[in-house]
Amino acid sequence: MNQVKLSINGQIHSLDLPPDMPLLWALRDKLDMTGTKYGCGIGICGSCTVLVDGRPAQSCRLPAAKLEGKEIVTIEGLAPNGDHPVQRAWDEEDVPQCGYCQGGQVLTAAALLERNPNPGDEDIDQAMSNVLCRCGTYFRIRKAIKRAALEIAAGEPA
């Protein structure tokens, strides 16, 4: 076991972890942050997506011990009250069906809008291609991202 200090959602957590423990399991099993989901375990479905220094990353493939000094944001930390423009747009556009991938979808969309405040369809499709939605709500996802972009442009806090 190694002592690892991780900055997650603005708080420092000191954890005793095996050197190869993926961040996903540190979040879920050690910190009880269950918004980050286990999907495929090989980094292709995106259900386990978190932000690492503002960029989407699949936590099932990231050894937690290698993330010291990085800022990690989970779905719980994006906006504790659920009032981030992307979260509001998700609700208003009725995006989720089963909801399993939504944490990864929302975080990926928020990161996209940080980099590109006015994305077109191709930009959205490319950015969101690393998070799979088995329910096929891609049209609503795209619509929600555009709605959030308009809210942010109108001065809504992100």
3-class SS shares of the chain: helix, strand, coil, % to 5: 40, 15, 45
**What mean pLDDT is predicted for residues 103-119?**
97
- Cβ atoms < 10 Å from Cβ of 32: 8
pTM of the model: 0.95
Domains of the chain: 2-75 (3.10.20.30), 85-153 (1.10.150.120)
pLDDT of res. 157: 60
User: 23-38, pLDDT tens digit by residue?
Assistant: 999 999 999 999 999 9
Closest CA to 19 of 60, 55, 65, 54: 65
